[in-house]
Amino acid sequence: MSRKLIRGGRVIDPANGIDAIADVWIQDGRIDAITSVREESDADIDWRDTEIINASGKIVCPGFIDTHVSLREPGYEEDESTATGTAAALAGGFTTIAAQSDTCPVVDNRSAAEFIRLQAERARNCRVYPLGAVTKESKGEELAEIGQLVQGGAIGFSDAKSPVANSEVMRRALEYTRMFNRPILHFAMVPELSEGGVIHEGFQATRLGLRGIPAAAQDIMTGRDIALAELTGGRVHLMCVTTADSVERIRRAQAAGIAVTADVTPHHLLLTDEVMDSFDTMYKCNPPLRSAEHVQALIAGLKDGTLSAITADHQPLAFEKKQVELDIAPFGICGIETLLAVCVKALIEPGHLTWSELISRLTVGPAAVLGLKHGTLSTGQPADVTIIDPDEQWTVKASEFRSRSRNTPFDGKVFTGRVIMTLVDGEIRYQKGV
């Protein structure tokens, strides 16, 4: 029988409407109770065998959930492995992640999904649910063995950064996945419009002579996906929304009762395409960093819940892959360990979101997308808990990442707010500095 007490923190549990200084009691790996702060002089409590974690001045909240994380194993172990990626997730405060299907080979069959789960069990870090590919080899042509992937543990379906460009294939996929009540996580992008692009199409692209990816490339596909979700009754989740018009389309679709959800990354909330005049490949991501008016619309969408989840869109890439010219460098930011800090800078410090709203987009929001019960501190739930020091000023040191990769544009930058402890099943799996 093990008992833990996380004592005296500011407990924020958006699912239960809690935001108060309180004690969180954990019994045998599950949340036992949230009570007012108790003193050791309180005689009605049996203090023996109670491990006390002092959380005074800290935020105590449900462990974060990421809807799509690229773990790169098997096939790209030079970038990341399940063990390093999940360790990085814990350091970022994540206790549950959905593993993206873009491994080599692609997770388009049952055994591939089971391998992901096996490696996650071996790593024993955070919870990992595989995403299965929508189409075989993510080529967008034929449906993957979706039913068997479900049997192998697939929690949803995604072809990662390869859009399912063929509308007929996407239509069948949405109809077919409906049988299993699993979402399709789609990267909405019209390939003909984005091909060869490296930066948002706009003044910066013109100025720098870089090929642009127009906002319309995302808007058009977002509109198509919404129409197909309406047609089929399937559930579509749009990954990495970056444009004002896409936000507005999703908002209207949700109001009309269509089953569409969406997420956004912290870097698209903090940065604009103006940073690209450094020609620094660390800023190269897909979709590209947009201009300020899009950022404003994303923040508004996050505030009103149109965008219900924040994802790191974790894309670890080995050092040498980014040490090349901008047009041949791969897209992606290794972001799961800096997600909270970047969100604080982009959302909390300017006063756009409250802590409770931010945590909701990192817990109940993504949990609903994936159909999970995690993301709350409700009694009886597994004790997946993240403890944050909201006041800690710290400098990002990519060299200290738990991720195998270092491709971050935030190296050396100073942030406020840091995850200091992460518990899974009531067990401390990450502790800052340990």
Partner 1 sequence: MVLNNLPVSGPWGERHLLGLERLSAEQLTTVLDLAEHYDRATLGGTQRLDVLKGVVVANLFFENSTRTRTSFSLAARRLGADTVDFTASSSSLSKGETFIDTALTIEAMGVDMVVCRHRTPGAPHLLARHLKASVLNAGDGTHEHPTQGLLDIYTIRKARGRISGLTVALVGDIRHSRVARSNIHGLVKLGARVIVCGPATLIPSDITQMGVEIAYSLDDILPEVDCVNLLRVQFERQRGAFFPSIPEYANLFGMNGDRIRRGKSDLLVLAPGPINRGVELTPDVADGPHSLILNQVTNGLLVRMACLTLLTQERRRLQGGEA
Say how far apart CA 371 and CA 96 lie, in whole Å. Answer: 12
Q: Check binding of 122 to partner 1 (CB under 8 A).
A: no
Residues 6 or more apart whose CB falls under 8 angstroms from that of 364 comprise 14, 15, 62, 375, 376
Give the one residue of 42, 46, 168, 325 binding partner 1; rule: CB under 8 A.
325
> Please, which residue, 111 or 278, has the CB nearer to partner 1?
278
HSE at residue 332, side-chain half, CA atoms within 13 A, is: 24
x/- mask, partner 1, residues 209-228, rule CB under 8 A, reads xxx-----------------
> Please, which residue, 115 or 283, has the CB nearer to partner 1?
283
Q: Which three-class secondary structure state does DSSP give residue 415?
A: strand
Size of interface with partner 1, in residues (CB under 8 A)? 20
Q: Check binding of 328 to partner 1 (CB under 8 A).
A: yes
* Span 181-200, contacts to partner 1 by CB under 8 A: 195-196
Among 86-94, 219-227, 322-330, 412-420, the segment contacting partner 1 (CB under 8 A): 322-330
C-alpha to C-alpha distances, 343 to 131, 238, 269, 336, nearest whole angstrom: 25, 20, 8, 11
* Active-site annotation holder among 13, 225, 263, 313: 313
- CB of 327: closest distance to partner 1 in angstroms? 5
Among 18-26, 117-125, 317-325, 361-369, the segment contacting partner 1 (CB under 8 A): 317-325
The single-letter code of the amino acid at 101 is S
Q: Check binding of 275 to partner 1 (CB under 8 A).
A: no
Q: Check binding of 205 to partner 1 (CB under 8 A).
A: yes
Q: Check binding of 278 to partner 1 (CB under 8 A).
A: yes
- CB of 192: closest distance to partner 1 in angstroms? 9
Q: What is the dihedral of CA 152, 154, 160, 163, to 10 degrees?
A: 100
CB atoms within 10 A of CB 252: 13
Active site residue 313: yes
Q: Where are the beta strands (DSSP E) in 159-240?
A: 184-186, 199-200, 212-213, 236-238
Indicate the pairing of strand 18-27 with strand 30-35. Answer: antiparallel
Give the one residue of 203, 231, 393, 414 binding partner 1; rule: CB under 8 A.
203
Q: Check binding of 327 to partner 1 (CB under 8 A).
A: yes
Say how far apart CA 35 and CA 9 lie, in whole Å. Answer: 11
**Residues 369 and 242: beta-carbon distance below 8 Å:** no
- Burial classification of residue 257, based on how many CB atoms lie within 10 Å of its CB (0-12 exposed, 13-18 middle, 19 or more buried): exposed
Give the one residue of 52, 208, 420, 428 binding partner 1; rule: CB under 8 A.
208
Q: Check binding of 20 to partner 1 (CB under 8 A).
A: no
Considering only CA atoms, give the Rg of the chain. Answer: 21
- CB of 214: closest distance to partner 1 in angstroms? 11
Q: Check binding of 324 to partner 1 (CB under 8 A).
A: yes
> Please, which residue, 2 or 206, has the CB nearer to partner 1?
206
- CB of 277: closest distance to partner 1 in angstroms? 9
User: What sign does the dihedral 63-68-72-74 (CA atoms) show?
Assistant: positive
- CB of 156: closest distance to partner 1 in angstroms? 34
Residues that bind partner 1 (CB under 8 A): 195-196, 202-203, 205-211, 278-279, 320, 323-328
| Residues forming the active site | 313
